[in-house]
Amino acid sequence: MVGFTAGTVFEPSRVRLALPTAQAGLGRRPLRTFAARFGHGLLGGSVMGIGCACALTLERALYLASPLTDPRVIEGTLINMVCLGLTFGTAAGLVFGLLAALEAPVDVTSAATPVSLLSSNRATAARQVLVLATTLTVAITLGGRLVVELLQGPLGPLRWGLVDGLFIGAVGGLGGALSYVLAFTAWGQWVVLTRVLLPLTGKLPWDPAAFLDDAYRRGVLRQTGAVYQFRHVRLQHHLGRTYRRRHDRFAPAAFPPRGPAPRSTEA
C-alpha cells in the first residue's frame, strides 16, 4: 500500500523516539509528514477493519452454523465492514500520524559500531511497540464507541460493549504495532529478512553479525562507523564477476556516473 501511494522505493525508518523540545517542537514538523502517515494508516486500518468484519462472519458460520448466503448475515457483515473499517482506519491514521511527532532521525554515521546501532534500533522498536499497542488499543476502543453512536440511527441498533471493545482494541493494537515494527523499521526488516528469510533460503549464514565480524577480524572487511566496507575493491569486483558468471539471469545494478570511482565500496 505504501508503495502504491508514495510511488517511491520503500526504505525502513531510521529513527529514535524523543519528546519534542521547545527548539524542535511540533510546529516545525512538516504537516505533510502527518498527512502521509495519516493516509497510510487510514488505508491500512480500513482494510484491517474490513478483514476483521469478514473474519467475524466466518467465525459465526463455523461455530454457529449460520449460512453465509442468509440476507441477514450479509447485511450484518456489510454493517460490520463499515463500522470496523471506520474505527480501525481513523484510529490507525491518528496514532501513526501522531507517532511522527515523537520520531527523531538517527545519524547513522555517528554510530560507533554496527552492533551498537542495531542494539539502539532494537530498543527503539521495543518502545514503538509499547507506544503503538497502548495508543491503538485506546483509540480503537473509544473510536468504536463513537462510530457506533454516530451510526446508531442510519444503520439500525448497534452494540459496542466495553469488554468486546477492549478485546478488539487489544488484538488490533498489538497486531498493528507488531506489523509496523516488522515492516517499517530497520530492526524489524533485519529480523524478517536477515535473520529468518535469507538464512532459510541459504543466501546468508544464520548469524550474519558474527560472519561480518569474523570477516572484519580476518582483514577482509573494515568498519566505518555503522558500515562494513570491503578493504580491497579488487576482491569485491572478483566476487561480483564470479557471482555473475554462475547466475546468468543476474543483472547488476546500474547507477548514473558521479565522477571518479571510489577506492572502496560498502559491503
Percent of the chain residues past pLDDT 70, beyond the cut: 78
**DSSP 8-state class, residue 206:** S
Cα distance from N-terminal residue to C-terminal residue, the chain: 30
| 100 and 143 share one domain | yes
Is 170:110 a contact under the CB 8 Å cutoff?
no
| 50 and 182 share one domain | yes
| 186 and 212 share one domain | no
Number of folded domains in the chain? 2
Integer Cα distance of 91 and 21 in angstroms = 26
Segments forming the whole domain that contains residue 165: 2-193
| 109 and 188 share one domain | yes
pLDDT at 78: 93
Is 199:205 a contact under the CB 8 Å cutoff?
yes
**DSSP 8-state class, residue 146:** H
Burial class (CB in 10 A: 0-12, 13-18, 19+), 40: buried
| 213 and 187 share one domain | no
Q: Compute φ and ψ for 49, nearest 5 degrees.
A: -65, -40
Integer Cα distance of 93 and 191 in angstroms = 26
| 11 and 117 share one domain | yes
pLDDT (average), residues 84-111 = 79
Is 169:137 a contact under the CB 8 Å cutoff?
yes
Integer Cα distance of 172 and 118 in angstroms = 27
Residue 158 inside a domain? The answer is: yes
Query: pLDDT tens, 147-157?
Result: 998 888 788 78
Q: How confident is the model at residue 107 (pLDDT cuts 50, 70, 90)?
A: low
Query: pLDDT tens, 113-123?
Result: 777 778 888 88
Is 167:175 a contact under the CB 8 Å cutoff?
no
Query: pLDDT tens, 207-218?
Result: 888 888 898 888
Q: What is the enclosing helix (H) or strand (E) of 214?
A: helix 208-217
Residue 258 inside a domain? The answer is: no
Is 170:140 a contact under the CB 8 Å cutoff?
no
pLDDT (average), residues 242-253 = 73
